[in-house]
Amino acid sequence: MRPHESIISADTGHIFTNETGAIEATGHKVNSIQTLDGKLRPEQVQEVLNAHHNVPHQVKPKLVYISNSTEVGTIYSKSELQELSRFCHEQDLFLFMDGARLGHALTAETNDISLEDIAALTDVFYLGGTKNGALIGEAIVITNRELQPEFGFHLKQKGAMLAKGRLLGIQFQELLRDDLYFQLAKLANLQAMKIKSAFQRKAFPFLTETFTNQIFPVLEHTQIEILASDFEFYSWKNLSPQQSAIRLITSWATSDEAVHALIECVEKL
């Protein structure tokens, strides 16, 4: 991307603010779109394009940044991704998929997208390693051949090329052997759904409907205090003076014992 080109992204209240403005620090403006379910749709992107037609006095939107699963645990359907990909192609926009939790999205029980679909419908995506069993790192996949040749220069110039960094690739070689990567993600989803069912039995509402390893139950503040005395989690969004949505995340390492302990506490709320 050139210095005058900008990024369009969904904003659930946390995306990019947690990264200390890293993208904008490189000279690229982020145009955020408020969305409740964490997903972007063509009509929302079009609104940003309509607001940036005063050439050359404004930044030029060039890249659409989506996450799958999203910051609020939702996932894109195949038809949604196809529609967004088609729109981006028509508007000469790059489509980038943040795959920090891609394994969890692809193994969700409601998912209908394959890894091959993602490769075909995006210009760049990455397989998240840090959040799915790897020690460190993400595997970036550039499917748009026009973007491939200069990537090494960008890595080096931005300080992302680690000495002996190629050794990080061994993690992904092993994670992708015999579908281990997806088995780990599926286990995390399974543990989250057990906890989700416990909240559902108690008739607690949720901020979003998710089938991945993130769930967002809405609780009274007094109930949150009770859970926080024994468990660590993030208070995601304050909804009223009495209620907030919390974020509970499971991983490949979340044990049955930990899940059962949390469920027992939920049942007493």
Is residue 179 left, alpha or beta, with left meaning phi > 0 and alpha meaning psi from -120 to 50? left
State both tokens at 155.
């890595």
Q: Does residue 17 carry a pLDDT above 90?
A: no
The helix or strand, by DSSP H or E, that contains position 73, with its residue range, turns out to be: none
Question: In the chain, what are the domain boundaries?
Answer: 5-175, 187-267
**Cα 19 from Cα 153, distance rounded (Å):** 23
Cβ–Cβ under 8 Å, residues 76 and 104:
no
Domain spanning 5-175 has what CATH number?
Answer: 3.40.640.10
pLDDT of residue 18: 64
Three-class SS state of 235: strand
Q: What are phi and psi of 125, to 5 degrees?
A: -145, 170
Q: Does residue 206 carry a pLDDT above 70?
A: yes
Cβ–Cβ under 8 Å, residues 60 and 94:
no
State both tokens at 231.
């468990």
pLDDT in tens, 19-46: 777 778 878 888 999 898 999 999 999 9
**Cα 204 from Cα 217, distance rounded (Å):** 7
**Cα 11 from Cα 47, distance rounded (Å):** 15
Region of poorest pLDDT, from 20-29, 140-149, 172-181: 20-29
**Share of the chain residues as helix, strand and coil, in percent rounded to the nearest 5:** 40, 20, 40
The helix or strand, by DSSP H or E, that contains position 194, with its residue range, turns out to be: helix 180-201
Quote the distance between the C-alpha of residue 21 and its chain's center. Answer: 17
- Topology of domain 187-267, per CATH? Aspartate Aminotransferase, domain 1 (3.90.1150)
pLDDT in tens, 230-248: 999 999 999 999 999 999 9
pLDDT of residue 24: 81
Q: Taking the model in full, what pTM does it have?
A: 0.93
Cβ–Cβ under 8 Å, residues 11 and 64:
no
- Residue type at 172 in one-letter notation: F
Cis peptide before 69 (omega within 30 of 0): yes
Cβ–Cβ under 8 Å, residues 231 and 265:
yes
pLDDT in tens, 80-128: 999 999 999 999 999 999 999 999 999 999 999 999 999 999 999 999 9
